[in-house]
């Protein structure tokens, strides 16, 4: 069994990986193609890896945990806020299918270019990469069925909440003492349900206007 298969088996055995669709995405989208060349030998180790400019490609088990919370469906429109290496963008592109769309927004132009270049080597064409402030979302494409944030925020950006479609879900790491992941579900107009999952660490989610 190769290293990628072992990693997937480990995540299944631990109960983190549950969905067939996410497993298929992991088998289709090779994390090795989204890391810097000097870290390729570590691509299937369950840990974050540097991608430059102080940013990282997230730990595989953390990404899977977040995707399981999001419950992305075919034909969804998804905002990938802080798209980094492009790996989560490609996984989301697989999950939404050809009828869906992923909008990947990245603050750092060099990282946006790195992620977009990696994504362009994947089999998907249903994502658009934007150099911009993901803290503000991307209103031009709103509302979104799902929003995935891959950086830790001091608070949930109001712009992201406002761009969430009815019935939509937002997953965002919080910079709080517990290291919570927040799952925010929009049940109706001004009606939200929040669920917290502690024990995570992310690079900061930056709002350039602060």
Parallel, antiparallel, or unpaired for β 101-106 and 191-197? Answer: unpaired
Write out the two tokens for 23: 């497993």
Write out the two tokens for 114: 């790195």
Parallel, antiparallel, or unpaired for β 164-173 and 181-188? Answer: antiparallel
Evaluate whether 169 touches 192 at the Cβ level (below 8 Å): no
CA 112 to chain centre: 14
Whether residue 58 lies in the annotated active site = yes
Q: Of residues 58, 83, 85, 150, which has the active-site annotation?
A: 58
Q: What's the DSSP call for residue 185? A: E
DSSP string, 118-171: HHTTSS---EEEEES-GGG--GGG--EEEEEE-SBBSS--HHHHHTEEEEEEEE
Q: Which residues are catalytic?
A: 58
């Amino acid at each position: 069994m190769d290293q990628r298969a072992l990693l997937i088996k480990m995540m299944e055995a631990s109960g983190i990986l549950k969905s067939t669709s996410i497993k298929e995405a992991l088998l289709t989208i090779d994390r090795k193609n989204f890391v810097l060349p000097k870290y390729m030998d570590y691509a299937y180790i369950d840990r974050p890896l540097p991608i430059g400019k102080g940013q990282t490609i997230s730990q595989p088990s953390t990404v899977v945990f977040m995707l399981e919370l999001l419950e992305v469906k075919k034909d969804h429109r998804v905002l990938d806020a802080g798209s980094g290496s492009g790996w989560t963008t490609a996984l989301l592109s697989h999950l939404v299918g050809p009828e869906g769309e992923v909008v990947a927004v990245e603050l750092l132009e060099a990282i946006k270019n790195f992620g977009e270049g990696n994504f362009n080597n994947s089999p998907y064409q249903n994502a658009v990469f934007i150099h911009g402030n993901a803290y503000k979302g991307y209103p031009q494409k709103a509302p979104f069925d799902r929003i995935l944030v891959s950086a830790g925020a001091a608070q949930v950006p109001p712009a992201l909440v406002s761009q969430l479609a009815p019935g939509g879900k937002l997953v965002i790491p919080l910079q709080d003492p517990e290291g919570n992941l927040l799952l925010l579900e929009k049940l109706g107009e001004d009606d939200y349900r929040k669920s917290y999952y502690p024990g995570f660490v992310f690079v900061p989610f930056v709002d350039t206007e602060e």
